[in-house]
Structure 1
Amino acid sequence: MDGGRLQFHEMGLDDRLLKALADLGWAQPTLIQEKAIPLALDGKDLLARARTGSGKTAAYALPIIQHILSVKQAVTEQAVRALILVPSKELGQQVQKMIRELTAFCARDVRVVDISGQAELSAQRPILMEKPDIVVGTPSRVLAQLSAQNLLLRSSLEMLVIDEADLVFSFGFESDLKSLLCHLPKIYQAFLMSATFNEDVQSLKKLVLHNPVTLKLQGSQLPGSSQLTQYHIRCEEEDKFLLIYTLLKLALVRGKTLIFIETIDRCYRLKLFLEQFSIPACVLNSELPVHSRCHIIGQFNQGFYDYIIATDEQSLGDPPALPGGQGKKGKKKKAQGSSGKDKEYSVSRGIDFQNVANVINFDFPPTVESYIHRVGRTARADNRGTALTFVLHTQLPMLAEIEDALTAENADCALKPYEFKMQEIEGFRYRCRDAMRSVTKQAVKEARLKEIKQELLNSEKLKVIFQDNPRDFQLLRHDKALHPAIIKPHLRNVPEYLIPPTLRGVAHPVIHKRRPRRPQGIAGGREMKKSFKQQHKKRNPLKSFRYTGKQGQGKSGRGAKS
């Protein structure tokens, strides 16, 4: 333990909180926690900038919980004392989960509710009427509950947090947030947590903070090369699919990997392409129910899946029309709010993807900030990570812009060229072209619809079953093959002669073998199977007999005799 740093037990935290921290295995606070918690406990407003994965959630959650525990020693009246605003539903559930872990030993005294989900306002009313101590939600959702008078904050709120503050305005919450602030009391303690200090954060600072303490705890927004290795590779559009196939199939990329793509359609295009080679992957799609999205993230963190294909929050494609949306003349009706995507959705920001080894920018990020937020999913805390960006020749000026922005903060953050000889993998190109012929626009559309139907069923109809049988919920997987495209069996395995000589020492292609089914049991399994076959022959002497459907014939020997 570092004797020069402030420890959790020296901050004046409740013993129940210290016990929860010990159970979580947090030996000592991170830098943002060490600096922010004492200031927050002293009642200061905070504007904190810290790198993703630095422990910002606990940096504001611990002071809030400590404050509520202290207040309840003198006041018995139940009231909503803290409001945490988040830009996405996924982040809302994540914050609620973190607070519940921290309040494991004081759950009766500190209750938290996440209202950012898609439930009806009236369904959440009974929960809010019980006045939970902490409410978590998106600005639009909280404003809707305030307008419906299901939530009252003017007389009770004491603490306000805006998490990922630089995203709130970019998600279109500016007007909602300004309207929401009118429902709050004049005096409260406020925290703004952000990975960047952009103009939106400066605007929020003027709106909600009073004489804040500013904490800027990082020199650069991404770790240095000792922790994060950043590569780029120049290629053409077709080469992207060839590269991703080679990297994944030959296990040149190892560990949990996030693959960022520009649109949802392209996500499914890549998923179907990888299915041709028996490479399973999940698509994190804003059209899916929030419970399904959070379940995918949770299982990815537990190691169920190695690959997640995702889009940026700023570039979600329009969904295909769902079945049943046609008029009498066959014309598709325009649904209200024509886009089925969820505006309160984020993948590249805020979500706690754990132990991500690699980030692959399959499609080039649209902005410098987008690149930082994507790559920030790996090399978190003290873990190491790798980022690889595919760059088209037309995108070289944008690459130079990103490099200039990164090296201006830290010269150690430059993108290195990925030393990969494309001519060595030319032998795989015909396989990729063969696979791409099956991935048609119609196949992509059918796959997209099929997964939405499956996840809606899993999210709604099976919700009660999963609540009663949590183990069954763990068995629900999201990387199953969708199979609208024709699968060619010969693409499953990689012949030895195709592997380039320079890669034979490092490539470890997965070999898929067909295993014959055997009867259960350990000892005597073959004997059991042999005995079963002999008995079956005795009972069915007419082994070659087949049922033809003609009168007087059947599936048994009796039918044949008649």
Structure 2
Amino acid sequence: MTFTELGLNARMVSRLEALGLTTPTPIQQQAIPVALQGRDVLGIAQTGTGKTAAFGIPLVVALSKAPERPQPRSARGLILAPTRELAGQIVRTLEGLTADLRITLVVGGKSIHGQSSALSRGTDILVATPGRLIDLIDRGSVTLGQTRFLVLDEADQMLDIGFIHALRRIAPLLGKDRQTMMFSATMPKSMADLSRSYLTDPVRVEVSPPGKVADKVTHSVHFVAKEEKQDLLIGLLRGHREDRALVFSRTKHGAERLMKQLDRAGFAAASIHGNKSQGQRDRALQAFRSGSVTVLVATDVAARGIDIPGVGHVYNFDLPNVPENYVHRIGRTARAGTAGRAIAFCDADEVSELKAIEKVLGMPVEVAGGSPWQTRAQAPKPQKGRRPRRRTGGTSARLAA
């Protein structure tokens, strides 16, 4: 199938070809024709499947057909995203699709005065994180009464990180006669409830069911004591010094500490997490894209929406607390049809996280090293009246399953 067969005009097809896009992905094949009809869309697809273009193309087409221009401090279309990085990437995609529409980005970590000034003229498409949008609404810098198009991207992540209250504040401010598109990688009950609140008679399109790892990703797990993770990571990184590697840490402080340790070990490393300013995060991502930084240590702010070609390896230094994030994390490699490798570390306290991940995947993760830890419930109990034999050493303390 071609983009022309989806009902797009020659001008849009030409722009897509200039971007190197000639064949629509499965989610684009299903979502674009429905959205062009003005229907509400509920899209379920994993990260990296082309969701941004799936909603961006019909949004640009619809706004380009409408003759009116945006009023001051208004937005004709609104796209909400959970993270600054994802919002920025959406803007870059939209800018490749049109040169005629005004696109404005508002996220935390940037000057709110500059964003307020940019909105004073009005905008065709406003791309925002919910928290910063609420701040601008409270200041009177933007009104949403004329907004006729709403997109919620990575909606399940917005719920995970507590944006539900912001969404409930924003929704009543939009025009009632609107088209809404909601895209999510998973469909928990909370997402179903949200879709019923926001969407009217939606068409559901679904590809790459939750828990499915990209075909060209090879992923495995090392069972390793917590205090030995750093040495294992350094040893593995030395095996591919020229390749880009993305390393996930569970906490902001852990990510920063690990980045400094890798820097001392001789790697060109940088970090992105919630304690970094937006400028610092942007510079780290740019350095990673250019190759001047080869190891990027991140929290889950980089688990979705960060499209960096050439990431050959993803390391789960800490396993995620939310099992679905495992799939999102390792989806940062094997982009655009390339192959990639994902390696997870599991210490004795992370057994439950690994089991939850395997439940989502529907299969065990291949063991690359070490012996699987037992859960405490499985561990043999010492006989009454006898002291348990003491275990010493990092790897010798590992319990065989």
TM-score when normalising by structure 2: 0.86
Range moving further from structure 2, 118-127 or 386-395: 118-127
Matches within 5 A, 1:115-130: 115-130=106-121
Say if 2:161 is the partner of 1:171.
yes
What is the 5 A alignment of 1:383-398? 383-398=338-353
Instruction: Indicate the residue corresponding to 2:134 in structure 1.
Output: 143
Corresponding position of 2:208 = 218
Match of 2:79, SS state, is strand
Confirm whether residue 417 of structure 1 aligns to residue 367 of structure 2.
yes
**Which residue matches 2:224?**
235
- Give yes or no for the alignment of 1:158 onto 2:151: no
Aligned to 2:375: none
Q: Secondary structure at the match of 2:127?
A: strand
Indicate yes or no: 2:297 matched with 1:347.
no
**Residue pair 2:27, 2:206 contacting (<8 A) in 1 also:** no
Looking at structure 1, the residues matched to 355 and 138 of structure 2 have their Cα atoms a distance apart, in angstroms, of: 48
Task: Give the % identical residues.
Answer: 32
Structure of higher CA gyration radius: 1
Match of residue 293 from structure 2: 305
Does the 8 Å CA contact 1:54/1:381 hold for their aligned counterparts?
A: no
The one-letter amino acid of 2:280's match is S
Of 12, 34, 37, the residue aligned with 1:39 is 34
Are 2:45 and 1:50 aligned?
Answer: yes
Tell whether the 8 Å contact from 1:223 to 1:379 is kept in structure 2 after alignment: no
Question: Post-superposition shift, 1:271?
Answer: 2.6
Encode CA deviations 1:316-354: one digit per residue, 9 max, x unaligned: xxxxxxxxxxxxxxxxxxxxxxxxxxxxxx221222233
1:134 CA displacement: 0.5
| DSSP 3-state at the match of 2:52 | helix
Asked if 1 retains the 8 angstrom alpha-carbon contact of 2:27 and 2:50, the reply is: yes
Other-structure match for 1:425? none
Deviation at 1:270, TM superposition (A): 2.3
Q: What is residue 263 of structure 2 aligned with on the other side?
A: 275
Aligned to 2:335: 380
Secondary structure of the residue aligned to 2:160 is coil
Following superposition, the deviation at residue 87 of structure 1 comes to 0.9
Tell me which of 126, 133, 144 is aligned to 2:124.
Answer: 133
CA contact (8 A) 2:148 2:178 kept: yes
Taking only aligned residues, the RMSD between alpha carbons, in angstroms, comes to 2.2
Which residue number in structure 1 is paired with residue 360 of structure 2? 405
CA contact (8 A) 1:45 1:189 kept: yes
**2: CA distance between counterparts of 1:265 and 1:386?**
26
What letter is aligned with 2:330?
V
Query: How far 1:389 moved relative to its partner?
Result: 0.9
Is contact 2:15–2:96 with CA below 8 Å preserved after alignment? yes
Distance 1:300 1:193 in 2: 27
Structure with the higher strand share, 1 or 2? 2
**Matching residue of 1:209:** 199
Contact map agreement 1:37 1:59 (CA 8 A) in 2: yes
Matches of residues 537-548 of structure 1 in structure 2 within 5 Å?
none
* TM superposition shift of 1:420: 7.3
User: How much has 1:240 moved relative to structure 2?
Assistant: 1.1
Secondary structure of the residue that 2:335 maps to in structure 1? coil
Using the alignment, how far apart are the partners of 1:146 and 1:398 within structure 2? Answer: 39
CA distance in 2, matches of 1:145, 1:272: 36
TM-score (norm 1): 0.62
Contact 2:287/2:293, CA 8 A, preserved across alignment? yes
- Cα gap change, 1:244 to 1:117, in 2 (>3 Å): same
**CA 1:144–1:396 in 2, change beyond 3 Å: closer, same or farther?**
closer
After TM superposition, give the deviation of residue 27 of structure 1 in Å.
Answer: 1.7
Give 1:375's aligned amino acid: I
State the alpha-carbon separation in 1 of the partners of residues 279 and 12 from structure 2. 28
CA distance in 1, matches of 2:261, 2:110: 35
The number of residues matched between the two structures is 369
- Give secondary structure in 2 for the equivalent of 1:357: strand
What is the CA distance between 1:364 and its match in structure 2? 2.3
Counterpart CA distance in 2 for 1:186 and 1:268 is: 45
Secondary structure in 2 aligned to 1:233?
strand
- Is residue 2:244 matched to residue 1:256? yes
Q: Distance in 2 between matches of 1:247 and 1:420?
A: 14
Partner residue, 1:71:
66
- Structure 2 residue aligned with 1:363: 318
Unaligned runs of 5+ in 2: 372-401
Letter in 2 for 1:54: T
Deviation at 1:76, TM superposition (A): 5.7
Q: Which amino acid aligns with 2:305?
A: G
Q: 1:196 aligns with which of 181, 186, 200?
A: 186
> 5+ unaligned residues in a row in structure 1: which ranges?
313-345, 422-562
- Aligned residue type for 2:59: I
CA gap of 1:392–1:149, structure 2 versus 1, over 3 A, is: same
Q: CA deviation at 1:25?
A: 0.8
Report if aligned partners of 2:70, 2:122 keep a CA contact under 8 Å in 1.
no
1:401: how far off? Answer: 2.9
Question: Shift of the alpha carbon at 1:62?
Answer: 0.6
Residue matched to 1:491:
none
Any residues of structure 2 matched to 1:319-330 within 5 Å, and which?
none
Is contact 2:108-2:131 (8 Å) kept?
A: no
Match of 2:386 in 1: none
SS of residue in 1 equivalent to 2:66: helix
CA contact (8 A) 1:86 1:139 kept: yes
Q: In 2, are the aligned partners of 1:195 and 1:221 still within 8 Å (CA)?
A: no
In structure 1, the residue matched to 2:283 is 295
